[in-house]
Chain A
Amino acid sequence: MIRKHITSATLALAAIGAVSVVQADVTRGELMATTCFACHGTDGHSAGSMPSIYGYPPEIMINQMKAFRDGRRPATVMDRHATGYTDEEIELIAEYLSRQ
């Protein structure tokens, strides 16, 4: 997904004669993950008592979000958030957060 974006951007630039690029793009995974940042801090680095959520391997984050969603993991508010996302959306968010 990410690789595909970079490749297509590079091709587009080559077509207009550019020689270097900083990819200026925002993906669906990033936009959705940024909504987590209000509570969990920018890039998932909490500024206070909320748990930080950066750097987890995607499979752990996916597992935890599904556990919140299914009620297998007790929560104060995350059960009410996790029910708002499909499997695909959880995977996109987890993939993005794992790289922060």
Chain B
Amino acid sequence: MQQRFSRRNFLRALGAGGAATALAACGTMPGARRRGPNVVVVGGGPGGATTAKYLKRFNPGIQVTLVEPKATYHTCFGSNWVLGGLAEMDDIAQTYGALKDRHDVNIVQDTVTAIDPDARQVRLAGGDTLSYDKLVVSPGIDFRFDAVEGYSEAVSRDIPHAWKAGEQTRILRDQLRAMDDGGVFVLVAPGNPFRCPPGPYERASMVAHYFKQHKPRSKVIILDNKENFSKQGLFMAGWERLYGDMIEWVPSSQGGQVEQVDPETRTVYSDGGLTRFRADVLNFVPSQQAGAIAREAGLADDTGWCPVDQLTFRSDKHEDIFVIGDACIAGAMPKSGHSANTQGKAVAAAIVRAMNDQDMLPLSTVNTCYSLIGPDYGITVAAVYRFEDGGIAGVPGSGGVSPSEASDAFRRQEARYAQGWYDSITADTWG
């Protein structure tokens, strides 16, 4: 009876036209058991995986299908720790067994190639079609490979971005290991907005840590498409403390705005070609946009990101589609794994509440970004968010960064908690 109750409420929430519509919706579900409403989640990163798990938690009567092409997902967060030698690739690998076996999520290893909002169906590369009552799109980012002359997806195999973890992380790690002492590592950091605002600066820190252990005459140069960056004061103080002058940060106004890449010589050019930097290992992180499927489905606006109702994450473009994580425009929230996790819970609540014909609850989301400057030197930025005046905003008086003056014990404790954060958020998302 509970299943019928859920479906009836769900259809009422949809404003569906009655039993005929209900039967039609059931009839188009290929191979689906008839048991409650049907939510398809696109993408098995922190946003999509959390959504799937918490939809089942909030209402076990919902049928949840998660579509993700990879059997093993390497988290972008933590991947800098691999470059620093603090973690192995296996330490940042997540799989879908617990979602399937413990949480009864239907895992489909495939790629969504098209979304048909009118028919409420997604098409898969493998040829299948899935019907949905509600669709949650969490595709993460794609790169604007054409934004800078000389860089491309093909070039990224030699000059990695390593901003989606996995094979790209391995390529960069291996290049750093193969580099001679005294070499130069150049990291080209993207302009705003982009995934993981403190990420480039943690990466510079971790590479410097590796160099200090193994190649102490080497140098780290960050060429930045910005004039300032996340946790800047804390990073710069930590760099000086741990690495002396090994790390050099070049803001956009001083030649950091890279306009051209020469992959053959690993040289980048700025200031109309007047300034050049030659790297022994070059890490080019392109500017970014919402994942391809979101843009191809018409969910993005001309910024390349997806506008949503920031209370429920419902797409501005289609009634039954929700967009979360890096791909969406979420007010004051940064594009981070933590944001995606907390947005996954919020969208799950919004969908379950709508199925019960209830309004969404007051939004409460959180972000905490841990960064390691060294193995015993951690810093954070944190915020608590509410929905206010039509958008997501930080709660006044809350949040902020770690204190600029702090004891070694304080930094060590935040470094220890960085690993604890990783262990808990991955268990909360995929476990």
Binding site for B on A (CB under 8 A): 13, 16, 18-22, 24-28, 30-32, 34-42, 46-50, 76-77, 80-85, 89
Q: Flag if A26 contacts B353 (CB, 8 Å).
A: yes
Identify whether the interface residues of B are mostly helix, strand, loop, or mixed.
helix
B394-431 residues at the A interface, CB under 8 angstroms = 395, 397-400, 402, 410, 413-414, 416-417, 419-428, 431
Q: Is the pair B366, A77 in contact by a Cβ cutoff of 8 Å? A: no
Residues of B within 8 A of A25 (CB): 58-59, 352-353, 356, 358
Known: A38-B338, A42-B427. A77 touches B380 (CB 8 A): yes
| Contact (Cβ within 8 A) B416 A49 | yes
- Asked whether A31 and B345 contact (CB < 8 A) given A24-B61, A25-B356, the answer is yes
What are 18 A-to-B residue pairs whose CB atoms are below 8 Å?
A18-B2, A22-B61, A24-B60, A24-B356, A25-B352, A26-B59, A26-B348, A26-B361, A30-B58, A31-B345, A31-B346, A31-B349, A47-B424, A48-B424, A49-B419, A50-B424, A83-B397, A84-B399
On whether the beta carbons of B399 and A35 are closer than 8 Å, the reply is: no
CA of A50 to CA of B4 in the docked complex: distance in angstroms? 41
Report the minimal beta-carbon distance from A91 to chain B, rounded to whole angstroms: 14
Give the chain B neighbours of A32 by CB distance below 8 A: 364
Give the chain A neighbours of B257 by CB distance below 8 A: none
- Known A-B contacts A24-B6, A24-B59, A49-B420; A37 and B428 likewise in contact (beta carbons under 8 Å): yes
Do A84 and B398 have beta carbons less than 8 Å apart? yes
Task: Please give, as numbers and ranges, the residues of chain A lying within 8 Å of B6 by CB-CB distance.
Answer: 24
Nearest 8 Cβ contacts at the A-B interface: A84-B384, A48-B423, A49-B420, A84-B398, A24-B59, A47-B427, A50-B420, A83-B398
In the bound complex, CA of A24 to CA of B13 (Å): 15
Chain A residues near B427 (CB-CB < 8 A): 41-42, 47
Chain B residues near A36 (CB, 8 Å)?
A: 366
**CB-CB < 8 A to B355: which residues of A?**
24
Question: Mask for B122-156, Cβ within 8 A of A = 1, else 0?
Answer: 00000000000000000000000000000000000
Q: Do B341 and A18 have beta carbons less than 8 Å apart? A: no
Taken together as a complex, chains A and B put the C-alpha atoms of A50 and B425 apart, in Å, by 11
19 other contacts beyond A48-B419, A85-B395, with CB at 8 A cut-off? A21-B2, A21-B5, A22-B61, A24-B2, A26-B348, A26-B361, A34-B345, A35-B366, A38-B421, A38-B425, A39-B421, A41-B424, A41-B427, A49-B423, A76-B414, A80-B383, A80-B399, A81-B366, A84-B385
How far is A37 from B414 in the complex, measured between Cα atoms in Å?
Answer: 18
Chain B residues near A35 (CB-CB < 8 A): 342, 345, 364-366
Contact A24 B352 (CB under 8 A): yes
